[in-house]
Amino acid sequence: MATQAEDKKIIAAEPSLEQILAHYPEGLAGYDEMWGADSNSTNPHWRRLMKDLTGLGETELERRRTDARRLLRENGVTYHIYSDPKGQKRTWQLDPIPLVINSVDWEAISVGLKQRARLLDMILRDIYGPRRLVKEGLIPPELIYAQQGFLRACDQVQMKDLPHLLLYAADLARGPDGRMWVLGDRSQAPSGAGYALETRMAMTRVMAEEFRRTQVHRLSIFFRHLRSMLASLLPHRKDDPRVVILTPGPHNETYFEHAYLASYLGYSLVQGDDLTVRNGKVWLKSLDGLKQVDIIVRRVDDSFCDPLELREDSHLGVPGLLQAARLGNVIIANPLGSSILESPALMPFLPNIAKHWLGEEILLPSAATWWCGQKKERDYVLANLKDLVIKPIDRRGPSIFCSQLNEKQLKEVKERINAAPYLYVGQQVLSCSTAPSLRNGKIVPRRVLLRTYLTAHQGDYDVMPGGLTRVAQDEGALFVTNQTGGLSKDTWILADKPVHQASLWPNIRQMESLMIGEGLLPSRSGENLFWVGRYSERAEGLLRLIRTVLNKLADYDDYRDESDHIVLQHLLETLTHFTYVYPGFTGEDAKEKLQRPRLHIMDMVLNREHRSSLIGTLNALLQSAYNVRDLWSVDTWRVVDDIDENLQYLSSNKARFSVLQTELDSLLASLMAFTAQTQESMPHEHGWYLLNIGRRVERALQLITFIRTCFVTHCGDVPEHLMLEATLVNHESLITHRRRYRSVQHIFTVLDLMLLDTRHPRSLAYQVDKIKALMDELPNPLKTPSHHLSREQRLILQVSTEIKMVEVEKLANVSDELKTRRALAKLLDSVERRLEKVAELLHQKYFTHTQNVRQLAPTKLELPA
C-alpha cells in the first residue's frame, strides 16, 4: 500500500493545471465543456482525462490518432461525402479526445429525452390517426398538410398497442448558459448509432488505459434493448422473429453502418428488390425460396419505400409495402410517414402540446424557432433575418445561414418567404459549446454537436449512454456536419461506480430455436458472392498470366530467340482474350504491337476505360465485395482493404513498368489471402457454395481460353515445349508435373494433368467435379423431387462425363494440314459452351428478380418551391 509520502510524490509528478492548459485558450466567448463555471479551472470530471492526455505528449497523441485512423480504415469504416472525390472510400474521421459528460448532467438529459420521445410518439400517432392536435387548435392545419413529410397514403395506418416511434435520435448542443438544447429531431431512419459503436471499439483500443481508469457507461446494453424491443413487437414469435434491415444500397453515405449493424445484431441486410409483397405480406427472396418478413428496420427515407403508393420514381423501395403495413402483416421501424416529426416547424408548438397532453413543462427546450405561417412570427423573422437560419419545414431545400448573405441574397430569401410563408421557419443560430479537440498535436477548442439515440423499451424509452459527437473541423465553424468534412468523437458518460460489459447473448430459452434457425441469404447477396468468386479468380488468373508474360518478355529481350518470340506472341494473344481488349495482340496491328509490347501490356493492366483490364476487374471485385459488406469477417475485410490499397497505387499512375512485377506480386499475395480467408472464415453454407462455384467456373473458363490459344494450333516442337513449361508455371503446376511424370514433359502429359486429372486442383476435370458437388448443396426452391436432376445438374454431369470419356492421345493429335488439334478444340468448345449455360441457369434460378411494379399515375403533390 502506498504511503502518504508516496502519494504526494505521485501527485507532484502529475502534470500541473498550467501544463494541461498550455495551448488551450481561456475566456472563450461561449460555453466550453472542459472549463468550469468560473472559466479558469477545469471541470472535475475532465481533470483526470486531461492529465492523462497531456501526460502522453504531442507525439504520442498524434500516434494514437494515426492508430485510430488505421483501425477504422482496416475495418472498412467509411462515410460517403457526395462532394468528396474519394466517394464511399473516405475513412471515418475520428478525434481521439472524447466528449466527457458527468452522471448528474446525463441523468437530467436522459429524463428530458425520454419525455420528448413520449411526446413525439403521441404526436405521430395523432397525426395519422384522429388528428386532435389540429381539431383542438394546438397545431395549425397548414403546418401538417402543406409539407412533404406528411404522407396522405399513410393516413389511419396504426399499430395497435405498440409505440409508433420505435427509434429516435436528437441532435443536442449546449448553449452559452450551459443548458442542453435540441437542435433537431431524427425520427424516420436515425443514423449514426453504428458509427458510435465502432468509434467506441476503436477508442477502447487506442485509449485502453485511459478508458479503463475512467468509469464509462458501456454501449452494448442499448443494442441489447434494441434487439429485445424488436423481438417483443411480435409476442407470438418473440423468440424468433424474422427481422431485416432495409438499406438503399452501397452508394448511400452510411452504408457501412447498415452492414455493420446487420452483422452486429444478426439481421439480414436487404435492398428493396430483395423483398416482394404477395397476398398482403412481405417476403424475402432467398436462395431457398420466399420467406415471410416480420419486421423491417428501414434505413430508406419513407417516401421512397413504396413506388406504388408513394414516390413512383423510387427504385429503392418495395411495391405494396404500405398495404402490407396497413393490414398489420409487417412492422416497420419507424413507420412510414414518421419523417414529419423531423419538421422544425413543430418545435415552437411542443411546449403547449406537452402542457396539454402530459401536464408537464418540456424539460429539454428546442432552439428558438418561429414558423412563418403565422403573421407575428413571420414579421419577426423578416425583421431579424441577419441573425437567423432559415429552414424549410421539410427536406425540400438546404438551411440558409443569413449572416453569410449579401443584401441581394437577403432580398431573394425575403421574397421566397413572402411567396409561401408556411413553408419556412426562422431559427436562432445557437452557438454550440466547444470541447477539447486534437489538431496538429495541440489540444484546442472546437464546437461540438451530440446526437443521442433512444429505443422504445418496456413501455418507455431507453437512452444510449453515449452517442455520436460531431466536431467542427475549423475554429470559426458554426455548422457541424459530417457532409462538410467534420470529425467524430466518442462520448464518455461517467458512471458513479464501475460498469460491467453487458452481453448480447440470448437467454437459454431462446437458444433452442436459434440453434435450428436458418441463416437466410437474400438472392442479391448470393449473386454478389457468386461474382466475388468469379472476379477474384479472374483477377488472380490475370495476374499470373501477366507475370508469365513479363518473364517470357525478359527471356526474349535477353536471348532474342525466335522460339521465345513465338511463345510470347501466343501468351499476349491469351492476355488479349483474358482482358477482352480487342483487337489487342490478335488484330491486324498485332505484329506492330509486338515490336513494343510494354506499352500495350500496361494498357491492359491500367486502362480504367476497359472494364476487363486488371484495374477494371479489381474494381468490380471490390464493388461486389462491398455490396455484401455484412458477410465478411473483420480479418477478411482487412485483406479487402489491402487489395484496395494496392489498386489505388496502380491507379495513381505511379506504377512504372520496371517495378510492375513487384507490385503485381504484392497484389497476387493479397488475392490469395482473400481466397484463404473466405475458405477458412465463412461458414460452408449457401453463400460459400455460390462463391466457390463462381471461382471454379471462372478458373475453368480461363484454363480453356489458355489451352485453346496456346495449343489448338501446333506452333512447332521447340516453341511448344517452351509453351508447355510456361503453362505449367502459370498454373502453379510445374512441381506437380515433375513429381508425377518425372523428367518427361510432353503435350500428352500436360494435357492429361491440366485437363483430365480429377485430383489436381488446377485441372479442368477438378473444376467441373467441384462445381457439380457444390451445386448439389444448393437449395431447391422449385421443390422438385430430390432424385430428379435439374437442367444445370444435367449439363454439368454431361461435361464431367465428356471429360472422363476423352482419350488424351486424340486430344494431342495434330489432325489436319493446318496443324490444328481438332479433337482438343471440339472438347474445349463444348465444355466452355455448357459451363456458360450452367452459369446462366444458376442466374435464372437463384438471382433473377421480377421487374418492380410502378404506378400508372403519379401521386406526388406539387407545392411551391
711 and 662 within one domain? no
Residue with cell 488446377: 762
Average pLDDT of the segment spanning 848-864: 51
639 and 544 within one domain? yes
Instruction: Give domain status of residue 181, yes or no.
Output: no
Instruction: Give domain status of residue 258, yes or no.
Output: no
Q: Residue 814 pLDDT more than 60?
A: yes
List the single range of 320-324, 457-461, 650-654 with lowest mean pLDDT: 650-654
Average pLDDT of the segment spanning 718-732: 94
Instruction: Give domain status of residue 14, yes or no.
Output: no
633 and 722 within one domain? no
- pLDDT tens-digit readout, 33-45: 988 666 567 888 8
Other C-beta atoms closer than 10 Å to the C-beta of 761 total 13
Average pLDDT of the segment spanning 49-70: 86
- pLDDT tens-digit readout, 278-291: 999 999 999 888 89
Q: Residue 67 pLDDT more than 50?
A: yes
Which of 198-202, 220-224, 683-687, 836-840 has the highest mean predicted lDDT (pLDDT)? 836-840
Note the pLDDT of residue 594. Answer: 80
Note the pLDDT of residue 864. Answer: 40
671 and 700 within one domain? no
Instruction: Give domain status of residue 793, yes or no.
Output: yes
Note the pLDDT of residue 27. Answer: 59
832 and 694 within one domain? yes
Domain of 827, in residue numbers: 685-844
Note the pLDDT of residue 515. Answer: 41
Query: What is the Cα–Cα distance from 747 to 530, expressed in whole angstroms?
Result: 34
806 and 660 within one domain? no
Query: What is the Cα–Cα distance from 555 to 346, expressed in whole angstroms?
Result: 77
Strand partners, 180: 174
Q: How many Å is the maximal CA-CA distance in the chain?
A: 103
Reduced 3-state DSSP string for 226-276: HHHHHHHCCHHHCCCCCEEEECCCCCCCCHHHHHHHHHHHCCEEECHHHEE
List the single range of 367-376, 550-559, 562-571, 802-811 with lowest mean pLDDT: 550-559
The share of the chain scoring above pLDDT 90, in percent, equals 58
730 and 824 within one domain? yes
- pLDDT tens-digit readout, 361-407: 999 999 999 999 999 999 999 999 999 999 999 877 888 999 889 99
Average pLDDT of the segment spanning 764-782: 92
601 and 698 within one domain? no
Q: From residue 530, how far is each of 16, 522, 526, 670 by CA, in Å?
A: 61, 12, 6, 19
User: What average pLDDT is seen over the chain?
Assistant: 86
Average pLDDT of the segment spanning 85-105: 80
Q: Are 754 and 762 in contact (CB under 8 A)?
A: yes
Q: Residue 517 pLDDT more than 60?
A: no
Query: What is the Cα–Cα distance from 748 to 70, expressed in whole angstroms?
Result: 52
605 and 739 within one domain? no
Residue with cell 419577426: 380
Note the pLDDT of residue 865. Answer: 39
- pLDDT tens-digit readout, 133-167: 999 999 999 999 988 899 999 999 988 888 999 99
Average pLDDT of the segment spanning 680-704: 95
Q: What is the DSSP string of 461-506?
A: EEE-SS-EEEE-SSTT-----GGGT-EEEEEEEB-SS--PPPP-PP
641 vs 863 pLDDT, higher one: 641
Instruction: Give domain status of residue 564, yes or no.
Output: yes
689 and 672 within one domain? no
- pLDDT tens-digit readout, 794-807: 999 999 999 999 99
Query: What is the Cα–Cα distance from 69 to 93, expressed in whole angstroms?
Result: 7
Q: Which of 682, 714, 730 is the last residue of a domain?
A: 682
Instruction: Give domain status of residue 225, yes or no.
Output: no
Q: How much of the chain is helix, strand and coil, in % rounded to 5?
A: 50, 15, 35
Please give the distance of CA 333 from its chain centroid, rounded to a whole number: 20
**Angle in degrees, CA 351, 355, 358, rounded to 5:** 115
Q: Are 390 and 400 in contact (CB under 8 A)?
A: yes
* Confidence bin at 330 (pLDDT 50/70/90): very high
Q: Residue 601 pLDDT more than 60?
A: yes
The amino acid occupying position 837 is: K
- pLDDT tens-digit readout, 97-112: 999 999 999 999 999 9
Residue with cell 496491328: 589
Q: Which of 656, 682, 708 is the last residue of a domain?
A: 682
Q: Which DSSP symbol is given to 850?
A: P
Question: What are the phi and psi torsion angles at 639 (to 5°)?
Answer: -65, -40
Instruction: Give domain status of residue 816, yes or no.
Output: yes
Note the pLDDT of residue 7. Answer: 42
398 vs 518 pLDDT, higher one: 398
Give pTM, 2 decimals. 0.87
Residue with cell 488479349: 576
Q: Are 578 and 542 in contact (CB under 8 A)?
A: yes
Instruction: Give domain status of residue 661, yes or no.
Output: yes
621 and 577 within one domain? yes
- Number of compact structural domains in the chain: 2
780 and 653 within one domain? no
- According to DSSP, the β-strands at 295-298 and 331-333 are parallel
